[in-house]
Amino acid sequence: MKLLRVTAQGLPLFDDALEVDFFAEGRVSQEDNHEMVHLFKNVYLNKTITFTGLNASGKTQILNVLSFVMYLLQAKSINVLPKINFGGDNNVLTLPLGGEATIISYLFSEETNEILKLVTTIERTADKTLDSKLKYVIVDEKLFTKSVGSVKTKKDLFNFEEKARLKAERCDDIFLSLSCDVSLLNTFYKRKEYKNVFYNEVLSYTDFNVLSGIVDLPEELVQFLDPSIEYLHFEKSGTSFRPLLKFVHDDQAIRLDSLSDLQNILSSGTIKGCGIFMNALLVLEQGGYVIIDELENHFNREIIATLLKFFLDRHVNVKGATLIYSTHYTELLDNLDRNDSIYIVSKHKGIKIEKLSKILKRKDMRRSVYFINGLLDDTAPSYQIVNSLQEVFKERITTVAR
């Protein structure tokens, strides 16, 4: 299944409902439709979804919520998530005790040629059987469906007031055996009525450069990230793996004791790059979703541009995979074709997002110029703040020099 839109209501950190579109809202011309994912009629999906904004604007929180939704749609336990913040709990939705949020997921089922609307209400509560440990429970869930034949325009995609039927409700007897933190989609996946949403999680490795999953890496990938390396293999030793690293100009390979030893030899960018590209390959093979926070972290511009190119290239991304990511690297936006795939994130009282297509109409200037020069609101530190900080530095330095 493919995602069309995700709406999250009742999240304390957001000004309004969080709404993220995966479909191309704007017109898709004949020149660029071959670069999009075509679903039906005039409905296309973007292959990349970008979130950009100032530091502390809320980009990571948005990605955390989207990751939570992916686990919900996979019919996995929403209480068993990777530790996004190592050592912290998994209150990704930041709900208080007794607080509720509603997730509305719109999907397209290629198997049944239907549009699905899944409405899931989640509460943060104390588990009486686990020493009052706080957890999420699904207190209400409904699944609506309608045929794509009822969709005449893009506005009809999310209109479920007519020609839609309630296909399932959580209170139905057939779903009573489900765990309270697993979506009712679980039953439909087991029946093979719908194909599971494929999601590959890498958010938990944003600030930790480790190799997740032991595979022999393509020599081309390793050499792309570090031309001085000839190959990097992994030898199984009991229940663990030992890296075998060969540099181009060395006669013999280096056999290391553990994976962690690689961090003493290889750069952070090389280690992270191996993990990110191999995870991206898996998503491209499956036609699923991958979410990456701070895409530019430890990478130079060409490495990032190459990863983006793989998702945008119709000859590589043949199954309609989607890369969802955040970035501070505004020059990266110049590589993208569509403004309706880019979201500007800002924070005042709460987190707010807006499509770039809603606020940028002109096309006679590179997107990065608007950001770098502060021509768009909330995309660069204000002049007053920068000037005030400069005065503080000048005063401190002058005082020390006396």
Residues contacting 141, CB < 8 A, separation 6+: 118, 119, 120, 121, 169, 170, 183, 184
Per-residue pLDDT of 182-232, as tens digits, reads 999 999 999 999 999 999 878 766 554 555 555 678 889 989 999 999 988
Judged against a pLDDT cut of 70, whether residue 253 lies above it is answered with yes
Q: Is the pLDDT of residue 67 over 90?
A: yes
Backbone φ and ψ of 254, nearest 5°: -100, 125
CB 15 within 8 A of CB 57: no
Please give the CATH number for the structural domain made up of 2-198+287-384.
3.40.50
Name the band, by pLDDT with cuts 50, 70 and 90, for residue 85. Answer: very low
pLDDT of residue 129: 74
* Cβ neighbours around 296 below 10 Å, total: 17
Q: If we measure between CA atoms, which residue out of 28, 19, 70, 73 comes closest to residue 46?
A: 28
- The whole-number pLDDT of residue 86 equals 39
pLDDT in tens, 105-141: 999 999 999 999 999 999 999 887 767 788 999 999 9
d(CA 192, CA 330): 42
Percentage of the chain exceeding pLDDT 70: 87
> What pLDDT was estimated at residue 333?
80
pTM: 0.87
**Burial class for 294, CB neighbours closer than 10 Å (0-12, 13-18, 19+):** middle
**Is residue 89's pLDDT more than 50?**
yes
Model confidence pLDDT, tens digit, residues 295-308:
888 788 888 889 99
pLDDT band at 26; cut points 50, 70, 90: confident
Does the pLDDT at position 266 exceed 50? yes
Computed over every residue of the chain, the mean pLDDT equals 85
Residues 165-190, mean pLDDT to the nearest whole number: 90
Residue 87 pLDDT grade (very low, low, confident, very high; cuts 50, 70, 90): very low
Predicted confidence at residue 247, as pLDDT, reads 92
Domain ranges of the chain: 2-198+287-384, 219-267
CB 321 within 8 A of CB 308: no
Asked if pLDDT for residue 320 goes beyond 70, the answer is: yes
Given a cut of 80, whether residue 72 has pLDDT beyond it is yes
pLDDT at 213: 52
Task: Please report, rounded to a whole number, the percentage of residues in the chain having pLDDT higher than 90.
Answer: 48
Q: Which residue has the higher pLDDT, 331 or 57?
A: 57
Say whether pLDDT at 351 is over 60. Answer: yes
pLDDT at 252: 92
Q: How confident is the model at residue 329 (pLDDT cuts 50, 70, 90)?
A: confident
